[in-house]
Structure 1
Amino acid sequence: MDMPGNKRSGLLLPNFEDFHTRDIEQARLWGQRVFCDNEIISLQRKDEINAQMYYRKIGGLGVGFMSYGGEITINPSQFDGFYLIQIPLCGSECIVRGSEVTYTSSSVGSVLNAGQQIQLVHGENTEKLILRIERDLLERQAAQYLGHRGPKQVEFDTAMPLDTAVGQRWARTVSWLIDYLGGEDIPNSPLIDAQIEQMMVSLLLASQHSNLSEGRIGDERMVAPAFVRRAEAFIEENAHKPIAVSDIAEHVGVSTSSLYTGFRKYRNSSPMIFLKEVRLQRVREQLLSCNAGQVTVTSVAHQWGFAHLGHFATDYKRRFGESPSETLAR
């Protein structure tokens, strides 16, 4: 993903606080200051950590760029007071939330919810944009959209697709905000700050599926009908089987034409693309859970229906930021 201002070796952003250290404890303390108490465990030699962050607050938002250089595991305390949106520019992360495992890359970002316990495995040479949103700001604006006070806690899906039109628009907006705040002569205006807060939170609520997506949030056309959600659940449960579009349509009780239309309109995708993404995820989970001497990439790929290994390897690397063989060698 080509982001304005991304220089890979680090962003030079005047008006942003910044730090750069090879000391894990210093990186932990900075993370504690910006986010919450945390534990950082190096998966490599300690001197291979190369942590850097550029960060700035504006009202109830915090935005910036960060990287740890080496491969590390981060165990934060519970995110009680904020939501954290992460947009990888390169590399990948593994996010564990209970039994749910999400892998991010340049095509898949993440939303870490307030009030949830997670673990992050930050891949080597991973760089990402971050947006921190205060919990009370987000929930207050969600209540305004829903037309009543005191909504239940907002819980977003962890995975945020960035290779869709909606995802790309979101990523560009975060990139624009970083460029704007990094410029010279930024006006000190509470009115502008409030407008930026409202824009970013509104866009998140309208773009990312959550437990409030059935409410009147943003463009109601983006709320997928029940048959699309049932189709996704059917695909998840039967991805190991040789299912066809006709099987999915029959299960949810619509025509194949309606099924394609629903996925195109509400997911900017198709049922078979969704099936391929689920199967790629299952391949990765299996490669990560096995030793290189136990299985081969070819056998696992064939098991999940990928007959053309060249296309499979290309899709896998685009999805996860590394080759299947690199995953198996972990």
Structure 2
Amino acid sequence: MVDVIPTAAPGSSEMPDILHFSSADIDQVRLVLNRFYYPVAIGVPEGADGFSLAVEVIQLGPLTVGHLTFATPVTFQVAELDAYHVSMPTTGRLHARHAGHEVVGTPSTGVVFGPGKPVWVAHDGNSAELAVKIDRDALERELAALLGHPIEGPIDLPPVIDLTVGPGQSWNRLVRLLRDELEYKQSLIYQPLIAEQLRSSVLSGLLLSVPHRYHDELTGPAAAGPPRAIRRVVDAIHDEPEQPFSVADLAAVAGMSVRSLQEGFRRHVGSAPMAYLQQERLLRAHESLRRADPARVTVAAVAHRWGFAHLGRFASAYRIRFGESPSETLRATG
């Protein structure tokens, strides 16, 4: 069974590409994995009857998140990765060999692979995993934007990530949130504004969640951006708050690193740049609701237009800002 939602061509950053797939045909499975992940050799132990693989996958430009379910034990072998990849079992275990490491992945421990090396993975039967692929150039560009200078790749990510505590646990929840949206055809992930924000959050979140040679620089103190550069960002937000700005985009407007932008906003504006952007979007949403015809416009449509990924959180933030719910504002116009 294959159910493809043709929202965009694979690799496009405009809209997500989504697929729901299940098959007992190894050749079909290989084609799907090649399309969304890598050319892979698939092995099934002798006597292991009942092979099947179910895949739910979303591709947001350079980011691919899939939930893979294995009915029987199966091995995957990739000659050479061209991306960064994290496998996080949700049920059962996986055994992996990569770059001189032999590791075991469980629901509490994710397995991390880097580009340029072969990979061998054995999955338990009746197991499942979240498989996160990030194009090499995208993750390295994200890190360079955060730091404000070029980097020498590949990034030396560790072979495993602890999914039970701290940033690793938080990053795991973020990936799961994205995967959960696959079930809803009316999901906000179909909005380019939301898709871009989620993609950037997953990439920067991984960089902040695991140790690597740039981690101390990434998390250490940063010099504040000068007021004139911060003003350029404030003006850009005021001019086009509906744009799918990521924090890296705003840093590019300022001509500085993400960390300097954040410190500059803290010092000169008294707010984080994305929080400032959210408040501007809340203001625009408020203005839209006040002018809207409640017979023709919904709160959800206004929230989508101004880039809010979660209606419940939008309503909560709106009430804090304006002292009433979005629906109350809309009804008052009728």
Q: Give the 3-state SS of the residue equivalent to 2:43 in structure 1.
A: strand
* CA offsets 1:262-291 (integer angstroms, 9 cap, x no match): xxxxxxxxxxxxxxxxxxxxxxxxxxxxxx
- Aligned in 2, Cα 1:150/1:113: closer, same or farther, shift over 3 Å? same
Matches within 5 A, 1:262-277: none
Q: How far, CA to CA, are the matches of 1:22 and 1:189 in structure 2? A: 34
Question: For residue 304 of structure 1, what is the aligned residue in structure 2?
Answer: none
* Pairwise CA distance, 1:74: 1.1
Contact 1:94 1:122 in 2 (8 A): yes
* CA offsets 1:301-325 (integer angstroms, 9 cap, x no match): xxxxxxxxxxxxxxxxxxxxxxxxx
* Pairwise CA distance, 1:177: 1.2
> Which consecutive unaligned segments of at least 5 residues does structure 2 have?
6-16, 222-334
* Pairwise CA distance, 1:61: 1.3
Matches within 5 A, 1:177-192: 177-187=178-188, 188-192=190-194
Contact 1:44 1:71 in 2 (8 A): no
Question: For residue 57 of structure 2, what is the aligned residue in structure 1?
Answer: 55
Structure of greater relative contact order (alpha carbons < 8 Å, 6+ residues apart): 1
* Moved segments of 4+, more than 6 Å: 12-15
Question: For residue 34 of structure 2, what is the aligned residue in structure 1?
Answer: 32
Q: How far, CA to CA, are the matches of 1:163 and 1:94 in structure 2? A: 19
Question: For residue 134 of structure 1, what is the aligned residue in structure 2?
Answer: 135
Question: For residue 289 of structure 1, what is the aligned residue in structure 2?
Answer: none
> Identity of counterpart residues, as a percentage?
25
Q: How far, CA to CA, are the matches of 2:24 and 2:48 in structure 1? A: 8
Matches within 5 A, 1:185-224: 185-187=186-188, 188-214=190-216, 216-217=217-218, 219-220=219-220
- Aligned in 2, Cα 1:150/1:208: closer, same or farther, shift over 3 Å? closer
CA RMSD of aligned residues (A): 2.3
Contact 2:80 2:117 in 1 (8 A): yes
Question: For residue 91 of structure 2, what is the aligned residue in structure 1?
Answer: 90
Contact 1:59 1:193 in 2 (8 A): no
Contact 1:143 1:151 in 2 (8 A): no
* Pairwise CA distance, 1:192: 2.5
* Pairwise CA distance, 1:194: 2.1
Matches within 5 A, 1:230-241: none
Q: How far, CA to CA, are the matches of 1:13 and 1:104 in structure 2? A: 29
Q: How far, CA to CA, are the matches of 1:198 and 1:152 in structure 2? A: 19
* Pairwise CA distance, 1:99: 3.0
* CA offsets 1:111-160 (integer angstroms, 9 cap, x no match): 22122211111111110112221211111011112221243311211211
* Pairwise CA distance, 1:182: 3.3
Matches within 5 A, 1:1-330: 16-45=18-47, 47-80=49-82, 82-187=83-188, 188-214=190-216, 216-217=217-218, 219-220=219-220
Q: How far, CA to CA, are the matches of 1:68 and 1:27 in structure 2? A: 11
**TM-score scaled by structure 1?**
0.58
2:153 partner letter:
K
Q: How far, CA to CA, are the matches of 2:163 and 2:151 in structure 1? A: 30
Contact 1:83 1:134 in 2 (8 A): yes
1:210 partner letter:
H
- Aligned in 2, Cα 1:132/1:98: closer, same or farther, shift over 3 Å? closer
2:104 partner letter:
Y
1:160 partner letter:
I
1:87 partner letter:
M
Contact 1:76 1:117 in 2 (8 A): yes
Q: How far, CA to CA, are the matches of 2:58 and 2:193 in structure 1? A: 18
Q: How far, CA to CA, are the matches of 1:26 and 1:181 in structure 2? A: 21
Q: Give the 3-state SS of the residue equivalent to 1:167 in structure 2.
A: helix
* Pairwise CA distance, 1:52: 0.9
How many residue pairs get matched?
207
Q: How far, CA to CA, are the matches of 1:26 and 1:35 in structure 2? A: 14
